[in-house]
Chain A
Amino acid sequence: MKKTVVIIYLIFSGLIFSQDNNKEYFNAGVELYNNGKYNEAINQFQSIIENGEHSEVLYFNLGNSYYKINDIANSIYFFEMALMLNPNNNDVLNNLSFSQNMLIDKIEKLPANQILDFFNFISKTLNVQQWLMIGILLFYVFLATFLLYFFSTKTNLKRNYFTLSLIFFSLAVVFVFSGINQFENNKNTVSAIIFEKKIDFRTEPNSRSEVLFDLHEGTKVVVKEELNEWCLVEIKDGNKGWVELKSIKKIN
């Protein structure tokens, strides 16, 4: 009995200890950043990730630190990671634009379908988790109204509850499905950042094939297919080419 108590205490204290450690790393990182020791700050922040914890702010701070040491690829990579957790963080978007100023490539965006754009815009307002959570919540609201409908005796009330429950049901379905849709979209469009100074885009997944064009460090691409050590990526203007997997880093 006493032993188990001790063990439980140890487990909990260990948990608490590691969390405290991460807090310390974070605070140390902030302090180092403020003193201009960006490389050391990066080490602190990175060790939090190694400990298995993260947050939007952590990625934002890492992006900032890498920006300060002119590491374009890493800076953009971590800002994009922060955006994965929250696509609408204005601070991140602002600093990302500063990082993107350092990009060598200029890619014109393909004019997209306006309706699709609108849906994407709507879809981006919440992340997958939020969509699903709200959807599930709405499901329970639907449940409540349905029960009210079921148990109310007055026809007037019954009718009102019925329409309400229908509305909540459809809303719940819409939310859950937009969550699933976004998730599927994200799964099919894994973005990645180019980490090498310059990479060649080739027609085939081997180094013998013809070079189509080349891009520089920090440019964002979308991974479409993978084959061995190579992957087919698409850039914003719709051009596609094969690059080596090791020269890019996926955002996920």
Chain B
Amino acid sequence: MRTSATLLLLFISIIPFEIHAQGQGISFEAIISKKTLGINETLRVDFKVNKDGDNFSPPNFKDFRVVGGPNQSVSNSWINGKRTFSKSYSYFLSPIKKGSLSIGQATIEIDNQLYKTMPVKVLISKSVTLNNDPNNTNYVVNENLHLVAEVSKSNPYLNEGISVTYKLYFSPQINVTNVGEIDSPEYVDFWSNNIKIPRLQIERGSYKGDSYNYVIWKKIVLYPQKVGKLNIKPLSLDVSVDVPTNKRDFFGNRIYTQVPKTVTAGNRLIQVKPLPGNAPINFNGAVGNFEIIFSSSKTELNSSESLQATIKVKGSGNLKLFSAPELSAPSSLEKYDPEHSENVKTTLKGMSGDISDTYTLVPQFKGKYPISPVEFVYFDPTSNKYKSIFSKEIVVNVLEGPSSFSQKNKTQVLSNDNTNNISLTKSQFRFIKTKTELIKIESQKFIYSTPFYLLLLLPVIIIFVLIGFFKFKTVSDSDIKGYKSRRANKLAKKYLTEAKISLSRKDVFYVALERALHNFLKSKLSIETSDYSKEKIKLLLGNKNIQIESIDLFIKLIENCEYARYTPASNVVINKDYENALKVISEIDKQI
């Protein structure tokens, strides 16, 4: 009876309380364990509701990883007859990133009504030192296992070799059982060469003052190919570590537990310096310390034989990243493409060895071929200077062979003649001349000089002068007297020819003859027609020392002309008179 009474009491007390609770209202809230925390710490968030509900849905913890939960707990209590109900959903969160993160809204349905929590802000700061509980295996591993990237030089020049050594330090307390590379770093903007490590060897060293064992996991030689800040991505290793625990086995030995652990060597920034700006023209990017060797397989040969000329760059530096300087041989040496060979070893100090280009040269003509020294320019990072080195000059002597001059002539003149080849191919470099006629170096050229013009104009002047002179002479010669006599002479001839034409007609003939004789005298003796008498003629002709016979003949002819007007004359007489006239004219002409 007593129990039933209690039960009844219980029921009675519940009913009015429920009514009371409904009147109180519902609270649904998110409670976080701390408002600020380190990124390596965990956070507990409770979603508390004071009335039972359904369909709880947590927020999307997008900036967190859910480490634990959800855990549910319900509490019911009566204090002084007052009932308190509380239900909570708990999550353990570990932040993913730093900064001010917010935990979103959780929802719950109570009495068909949706309730939401307010979003909560949490400030995530950088990692804080974890509790150094020496029994925590994770802590032990963290303290005793380190991956370190050692960079030989953090501010190299462009193309200057640097090395990166990854060392895995572990304290003697723990044992490393298995190491695997998860994430290999990429060396963008570097020329990289991995130096193979044949066998991992444990060595003793110290890390931050403590004695440690270490293993060189990876060695890499890098040649930066870009100026500026370059990032070396971290290397991540997955290491299985045996950590001692406090537990001891039956024999009293420590029991080890195996803990998997990921270690990373942090990002390394490399500040690459550009090479100084005053680079010589022939600089082709070689950085290091080099020497140049230029050699030839032979220096004396016959034409159409071949020789090997080798340009070798020897030393240490970025040998694989540039090419040997080009050979500049005379164009009359036939040059074939070079054969490239490399003999380069890469160590932590960088590349060393030599690269060489071997050219095959075939001379075509006899003669001397100096192959000019090869210049090689490199940057020496230790002295921060460009250095230019020269090889020695090689002179190739071609002893036998055609000369290029005779070759030229042959193609021009003797394209199809083979017989002269012997003499032509024997063409030699000729000796100097031992005798000469030295002449003054003329500053004044003959052409366009005064003597040049004078010499050219002189003939023209001479011609004009002569022509002019003769013109003048004829004019001066032509006085009236001379003119008249020349005219009379002409007339005499004219009349004689007239007379000759009319040999058959007597009267015309003698008139013409008489006129001819008169004119002749006029021209020779300057006698006017009015002054015409036989005595005068005789006298004048006598004065001119003309032979008597001629004078007589002339007078006779004149008489004949006069008689013939009145007396008949035969053809014979006429002919005879004509001949006499010719004869006497020419005779007197001669004698004057």
A interface residue numbers (CB < 8 A to B):
19, 22-23, 26-27, 30, 33, 48-49, 52-58, 60-61, 64-65, 67, 70, 72, 91, 93-98, 100-106, 128-129, 132, 136, 139-140, 142-143, 146-147, 150, 176, 179-180, 183, 197, 216
**Given that A70-B368, A103-B332, A104-B330 are known contacts, is A98 also in contact with B404, CB under 8 Å in the complex?**
yes
Given contacts A19-B438, A54-B438, A104-B328, contact A33 B432 (CB under 8 A): yes
Which residues of A are found within 8 Å of B406, using beta-carbon distances?
94
B139 CB within 8 Å of chain A: no
Task: Tell whether, in the assembled complex, residue A197 and residue B466 are in contact, meaning their CB atoms are under 8 Å apart.
Answer: no
For B329, the chain A residues whose CB sits under 8 A away are 104
User: What A residues does B438 contact at CB under 8 A?
Assistant: 19, 22-23, 26, 48, 53-55, 58
Q: How far is the CA of A95 from the CA of B470 in the complex (A)?
A: 60
User: Contact residue range for chain B?
Assistant: 35 or more
Which residues of B428-445 are within 8 A (CB) of A?
429-441, 445
B462 within 8 A of A: yes
Q: Tell which of A56, A61, A93 touches B405, judged by Cβ atoms closer than 8 Å.
A: A93
Q: Which of the candidate stretches B27-35, B162-170, B452-460, B570-578 sits at the interface with the other chain?
A: B452-460
Shortest distance from the beta carbon of A171 to any chain B beta carbon, whole Å: 13
Q: State which of A53, A65, A98, A136 has its C-beta within 8 Å of the C-beta of B456.
A: A136
A72 touches B430 (CB 8 A): no
Q: A residues within 8 A CB of B441? A: 49, 52-54
Which residues in B have their C-beta under 8 angstroms from that of A33?
A: 432
Residues of chain A with a CB closer than 8 A to B427's CB: 94
Interchain nearest-CB distance for A72 vs B (Å): 7
Point out the residues of chain B lying under 8 angstroms from A128, CB to CB: 445-447
Q: In the complex, what residues of A have CB within 8 A of residue B455's CB? A: 136, 139
List, in ascending order, chain B residues with CB within 8 A of A53's CB.
438-441
Whether B447 lies near A183 (C-beta < 8 A) is yes
Type the 1/0 row for B361-385, where 1 means its CB is closer than 8 Å to any CB of A.
Answer: 0000101111010000000000000
Bound-state Cα–Cα, A96 to B447, Å: 28
The residues of A that contact B196 with a CB separation of less than 8 Å are none
Interface flag for B188 (CB, 8 Å): no
B440 is contacted by which of A23, A52, A95 (Cβ under 8 Å)?
Answer: A52
A residues within 8 A CB of B436? Answer: 26, 55-58
Closest A residue to B470 by beta carbon equals A150
Known interface pairs A67-B429, A132-B452. Does A150 touch B368 (Cβ–Cβ under 8 Å)? Answer: no
- Chain B contacts of A150 at CB under 8 A? 466-467, 470
Q: How near does chain B come to A84, taking the closest CB pair, in angstroms?
A: 12
Q: Which of A67, A94, A142 has the most CB of B within 10 A?
A: A94
Q: Is the CB of A142 within 8 A of B459?
A: yes
Which residues of A are found within 8 Å of B372, using beta-carbon distances? 104, 197
Inter-chain CA distance A230–B485, complex, in Å, is: 82
| Cβ–Cβ contact A102 & B459, under 8 A | no
The residues of A that contact B435 with a CB separation of less than 8 Å are: 57
Closest 4 CB pairs of A and B: A106-B331, A97-B405, A57-B436, A143-B459
How far does the alpha carbon of A196 sit from the alpha carbon of B435 in the complex, in Å? 32
Minimum distance in angstroms from A249 CB to a CB of chain B: 16
Tell me which residues across on chain B come within 8 A of A56, comparing CB atoms.
436
CB pair B433 A143 closer than 8 Å: no
Apart from A128-B447, A143-B462, list 13 A-B contacts with CB within 8 A: A55-B436, A57-B433, A60-B432, A64-B430, A67-B368, A93-B405, A94-B427, A97-B365, A97-B404, A101-B369, A102-B368, A129-B446, A216-B328
B408 at the interface (CB under 8 A from A): yes
Contact B447 A132 (CB under 8 A): yes
With a cutoff of 8 Å between Cβ atoms, the chain B residues found around residue A97 in the complex are 365, 403-405, 408
Contact A61 B459, CB 8 Å, known A70-B370, A97-B404, A102-B370: no
Task: List, in ascending order, chain B residues with CB within 8 A of A58's CB.
Answer: 436, 438
CB–CB A176/B456 < 8 A? yes
A150 to B469 CA separation, bound complex (whole angstroms): 12
B residues 412-430 touching A (CB-CB < 8 Å): 427, 429-430
- B432, B446, B456, B459: the one contacting A64 at CB < 8 Å is B432
Check if B369 sits within 8 Å of A139, measured CB to CB: no
What are the residues of chain A within 8 A of B437 when measuring CB–CB?
A: 55
Give Cα A102 to B441, complex, Å: 30
- Interface membership of chain B positions 450-483, coded 1 if the CB is closer than 8 angstroms to chain A and 0 otherwise: 0010011001001100110010000000000000
- Min CB–CB distance A139 → chain B (angstroms): 5
| Contact indicator A94/B405 (Cβ below 8 Å) | yes
Q: Does A100 lie within 8 Å of B332, measured CB to CB?
A: yes
Residue of B nearest to A99 (CB): B367
Which residues of B from 304 to 332 have beta carbons under 8 Å from A?
A: 328-332
